[in-house]
Structure 1
């Protein structure tokens, strides 16, 4: 796989096994464990592509009588206290709020500093976050995520960080080989992913991406 900043990741396509899952349905299973009267917040963004996932979570929560609320990072203020004081507080829509029992983080590739800081504040206040802020930070950068997987000894496709247009098709052929998958370093929902069968396709794609 190859990446670019034009930074892209290049994966050897021959080694990639894609599992097609109905992710929102699977994610909703996370709501099975909380008991009735639990308060669950889903930290999201205003990306309309997340609406289906949000609705599936809401369906499952209603079945189990769980108090489920969608909240947005941009509407939070976090307050940090110094030594000897309490752990700080969190304000939502300019109001002090009682904390939820768990926070489901579903901000996707749009996760930025504000969302990460909000999650860290929940963690500091001993509210479980799924996934936690450290996991999200690691997954935001696909190259870094691959480095973590490789260090853990897990099998991954050969991956190279590419810089377009500087990375040549000859180098890709030598290091990764064709066919290969070219994807942006940050992104989700299958966006910014391209399959290159040969050097010519790679060159054409590189030219197109750099012209955007």
Structure 2
């Protein structure tokens, strides 16, 4: 099969490993920088142009979209979907995964255990928010943060109030979460395929 890996950097370890694994299985592998694609939209004939050539005869796409280019990267993935080309990560799943609040809402609806979480629209009632998650210590996360950036552990109530008031002053959106002491700063990422855990990794903060 002819497969395309969407990646802005072909030298990334994850990108190179995907290409190597694909070639080992006998597939024709290509790396396409999605940030340099042009999307052609016309009646019932969507297309993608890369390096002045129209992409065609592709059997599948493996998106590796960085957080900083989520909007355009998602548009490229959606364009492949419109072209009836299989994508390993659907555009809707990509958008949801980059939205912390939406992800929590989906997990909550599915009945998964979650730390108590509060999201508000620049509420001045910081004391009430702190109480709703069980008091300090608590975790404050910027909605736009990724890879651990924009995450703060407030050890006590005064610290939590000061941080929330400062963030409100900057009009930055945050979620406030209960601190799970038993986790000891670690979390486990599970990879699930068709309802079955096929792999997992532990991240230590």
Global fold match (TM > 0.5): yes
Out of 132, 146, 151, the position equivalent to 1:175 is 132
Out of 45, 50, 60, the position equivalent to 2:8 is 45
Aligned counterpart, 1:25: none
Q: CA deviation at 1:160?
A: 1.2
Q: Conserved in 2, the CA contact under 8 Å of 1:78 and 1:121?
A: yes
Q: Conserved in 1, the CA contact under 8 Å of 2:70 and 2:95?
A: no
- What CA deviation, in whole Å up to 9, does each residue of 1:124-182 have, x standing for no partner? 111111210011111221101111222232222211114568452x2233111222221
Which structure ranks higher in relative contact order (CA pairs < 8 Å, sequence separation ≥ 6)? 1
Alignment CA distance shift 1:164-1:52 (3 Å): farther
Q: CA deviation at 1:93?
A: 1.6
Q: CA deviation at 1:109?
A: 2.0
Aligned counterpart, 1:57: 18
Aligned counterpart, 1:197: 155
- What CA deviation, in whole Å up to 9, does each residue of 1:187-208 have, x standing for no partner? 3222222222221332454467
Q: CA deviation at 1:45?
A: 3.4
2:102 matched to 1:144?
yes
Q: TM-score, normalised by structure 2?
A: 0.69
Aligned counterpart, 1:119: 77
Where do 1:5-20 residues align within 5 Å?
Answer: none
Out of 43, 62, 65, the position equivalent to 1:104 is 62
Q: Conserved in 2, the CA contact under 8 Å of 1:74 and 1:114?
A: yes
Distance 1:167 1:57 in 2: 48
Aligned counterpart, 1:159: 117
Mind listing any 5+ residue stretches in structure 1 that lack a counterpart?
1-37
- Which structure's residues are more often strand, by fraction? 2
Distance 2:122 2:29 in 1: 44
Q: CA deviation at 1:185?
A: 0.8
Mind listing any 5+ residue stretches in structure 2 that lack a counterpart?
173-205
